[in-house]
Amino acid sequence: MNSFTYKRARTQAEAIQEVAANRGAKFLGGGTNLVDLMKMNVQQPSALVDITRLPMTTIEEGPQGLRIGAGVSNSEVANNKLVRKGYPVLSEALLAGASPQLRNMATVGGNLMQRTRCYYFMDTSFPCNKRVPGSGCPAIPGFNRIHAILGTSDKCIATHPSDMCVALAALDAVVQVQGPRGPRSIPLTEFHRLPGETPEVDTNLQPDELIWAVDVPASAHARRSAYLKVRDRAQYAFALVSVAAALEIKGGKIAAARLAMGGVAHKPWRALEAEKILTGAQASAQTFKAAAEAALQGATAQKHNAFKIEMAKRAVVRVLNGLANMNAGGKAGGAA
């Protein structure tokens, strides 16, 4: 690990100024991902600006929905009564991630910014276009069981690791950021990027912009929502495939639908074509199978991950069936 300076920011303005003035500086929240990357020499910031004391640690309910501070821990969000009642998919996604100890430390802002767990990215003995642009992607000819099947490029096939972000994508969340040029609102679906020609750029956040809150709009479909995570072991494992879904059903027909997937792309994958098939259709097994097919349209397997395509289709159907059969206050989905 390289040497670095450390400063605890007293205000948002001070934190932003410190990072804007130092190109190699990073904001430090819970540190559950950044510190690991520093230990492994994957990232080598020259300065850390501690933002843990800033006033970004509340969950507030308003007429439009929830505003969740960027400094709120994953555990606090998962166990919050407002989240559990109005946005169960978000609570379930957070509880499916990491371990209780990590959830107690990890923050909402840090979760948004966490980086891929691709083997080759995490091991600096390998080349990697995300670490050194133009050096190559050894995952493409290598062992790629956990890698992406949607939205890939010839530069990168890494997947995004977050559970929380998949749920937020399905909930139409908006990320609130502040920087030297003023505030911005970034829809969660536009916050993360596909690899394209620049896999080293994970998000559309500028280096000197600070995430200070996430807005989650209230809706009828958010109340009937669930998260399914398929993984190699029951705890402390990243998703091979995950599904976040929300449905509003009236008279047996789907009035509104949201569907997002994790473990399949470089960013949380919003299945817009599947949502079109679901909206206005009968809530039936046939509809759900058609939606699953649409959700995986265009999927391209690598040598070791072809199983993900069928797995993702089955996961979509399973979650949607569960939501359709959900009683008031019931649950659907779950870990697998």
What is the structure's pLDDT at 332?
Answer: 63
Summarize the confidence of residues 34-45 as an average pLDDT. Answer: 96
CA distance linking residue 246 with residue 164, whole number of Å: 15
**DSSP of 182-216:** EEEEEEHHHHB---TT-TT--BS--TT-EEEEEEE
Using alpha carbons, select from 195, 194, 170, 155 the residue that is nearest to residue 260. Answer: 170
Domain 223-330 part of CATH 3.30.390.50: yes
For residue 328, the model assigns a pLDDT of 42
CA distance linking residue 109 with residue 211, whole number of Å: 6
Q: Is residue 265 predicted with pLDDT exceeding 60? A: yes
Q: Residue 175 to residues 64, 191, 250: CA-CA distances in angstroms?
A: 15, 8, 30
Query: What whole-number percentage of the chain has pLDDT above 90?
Result: 95
Give the model's confidence band at 329: pLDDT under 50 very low, under 70 low, under 90 confident, else very high: very low
CATH class of the domain whose range is 5-51? alpha beta
> What are the C-alpha distances in Å from 189 to residues 83, 171, 197, 320?
20, 10, 19, 21
Q: Which residues 6+ apart lie within 8 Å of 53 measured at CB?
A: 8, 9, 10
Question: Chain-wide mean pLDDT for the chain?
Answer: 96
DSSP letter at 97 equals S
- Is the Cα torsion angle 132, 264, 261, 34 positive or negative in sign? negative
Is residue 231 within 8 Å of 98, Cβ to Cβ? Answer: no
141 SS3 class: coil
Supply the pLDDT for residue 334.
Answer: 53
pLDDT tens digits, residue range 205-242? 999 999 999 999 999 999 999 999 999 998 889 999 99
The pLDDT value recorded for residue 220 is 97
Average pLDDT (290-314) is 98
pLDDT at residue 235, as a whole number: 86
pLDDT value of position 2: 85
pLDDT above 70: residue 333: no
What is the domain partition of the chain in residue ranges? 5-51, 223-330
Sheet holding 241-250, edge to edge: 269-270, 253-262, 241-250, 225-230, 334-335
pTM for the model stands at 0.96
Using one digit for the tens of pLDDT, what is the confidence trace for 161-173?
999 999 999 999 9
Q: 129: helix, coil or strand?
A: coil
Is it the case that residue 129 has pLDDT exceeding 60? yes
CA 195 distance to own-chain centroid: 15
b or e along 55-78 (b: 16 or more beta carbons within 10 Å of the residue's beta carbon)? ebbebeeeeebbbbbbbbbbbbbb
Q: Return the SS3 of 296.
A: coil
Record the tokens describing residue 218, joined without a space. 């209230």
Of the candidates 289, 282, 295, 294, the one whose C-alpha atom is nearest the C-alpha of residue 249 is 282
Instruction: Give the residue ranges of DSSP H helices in the chain.
Output: 12-20, 34-39, 74-79, 81-86, 88-95, 100-105, 108-113, 119-122, 164-170, 188-191, 220-223, 272-278, 285-295, 307-324
Tell me what the mean pLDDT of segment 106-124 comes to.
Answer: 98
> Nearest Cα to 32, choosing from 112, 123, 93, 120?
112
Q: What is the pLDDT of residue 271?
A: 98
Phi, psi of 69 (to 5 degrees): -65, 145
Q: What pLDDT, in 10s, does the model give residues 236-263?
A: 899 999 999 999 999 999 999 999 999 9
Greater model confidence, 334 or 204: 204
pLDDT tens for each residue of 138-148: 999 999 999 99
